């Protein structure tokens, strides 16, 4: 039997994370909820991937791009398929450690339920993917009490990067 998924390794509040820069997109599902995105809703994961890729390039964190872009798209897809109400995609660069927070909020009160799909199933592995890619991940309630944030955190462990204040914008 596989080990249970970690649902929270550390407490992290995506609404107050110490960050230098952050970028966000807000959107709401326009088609009936289903496991497959169609119509205008299918554009949102792609838009979030593009925002993540552009942000990581600007922040000089290209080494994290593949994992962050994929994780962000997975979280957005999960929120669109299983969440409700307004969805917020937040990408933030932390102030001190070349870290990137990817967080997606929705207004659904339903808890996150990691699945263990059968080998032949085509979906249901998004949180397993997040588990494998991220340094840590978890779920936090929204401050307004309506819904939750699902977040994951990535850190570039490059020891040559200078995190002094004059390099806070990401210059090496």
User: What is the predicted pLDDT for the residue at 65?
Assistant: 94
pTM listed for this prediction: 0.75
- Torsion angle, alpha carbons of 143, 137, 65, 132, to 10: -160
Domain membership of residue 2 (yes or no) is no
User: What is the predicted pLDDT for the residue at 169?
Assistant: 43
Residues spanned by the domain of 98: 19-112+123-167
| Side-chain half-sphere CA neighbours of 59 within 13 A | 31
Domain membership of residue 4 (yes or no) is no
Domain membership of residue 6 (yes or no) is no
Domain membership of residue 152 (yes or no) is yes
Domain membership of residue 26 (yes or no) is yes
Domain membership of residue 14 (yes or no) is no
| The pLDDT of residue 25 is above 80 | no
Domain membership of residue 134 (yes or no) is yes
Mean pLDDT of 79-100: 85
- Dump pLDDT digits (tens) for 78-89: 998 888 888 899
3-class DSSP state for residue 87? strand
CA dist 110 to 42, 55, 60, 124, Å? 22, 30, 36, 16
**How far, in Å, CA of 169 to CA of 110, rounded?**
37
If one counts the domains in the chain, the total is 1
Contact of 95 with 18, CB cutoff 8 Å:
yes
Strand partners, 22: 92
What CATH number is associated with residue 64? 3.30.565.10
Highest mean pLDDT, choosing among 16-20, 25-29, 148-152:
148-152
User: What is the predicted pLDDT for the residue at 73?
Assistant: 94
Domain membership of residue 82 (yes or no) is yes
């Amino acid at each position: 039997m596989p080990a249970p998924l970690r649902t929270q390794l550390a407490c992290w509040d995506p609404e107050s994370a110490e960050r230098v820069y952050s970028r966000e997109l807000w959107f709401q599902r326009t088609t009936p909820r289903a496991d497959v995105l169609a119509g205008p809703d299918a554009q949102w994961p792609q838009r979030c991937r593009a925002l993540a890729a552009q942000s990581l390039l600007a922040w000089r964190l290209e080494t994290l791009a593949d994992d962050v872009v994929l994780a962000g798209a997975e979280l957005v897809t999960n929120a669109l398929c299983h969440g409700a109400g307004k969805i917020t995609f937040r990408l933030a660069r932390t102030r001190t450690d070349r870290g990137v927070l990817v967080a997606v909020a929705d207004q659904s009160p339903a808890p996150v339920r990691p699945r263990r799909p059968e080998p032949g199933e085509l979906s249901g592995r998004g949180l397993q993917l997040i588990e494998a890619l991220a340094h840590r991940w978890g779920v936090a309630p929204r401050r307004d009490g309506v819904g939750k944030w699902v977040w994951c955190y990535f850190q570039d462990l490059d020891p040559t990067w200078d995190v002094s204040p004059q390099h806070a914008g990401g210059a090496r």
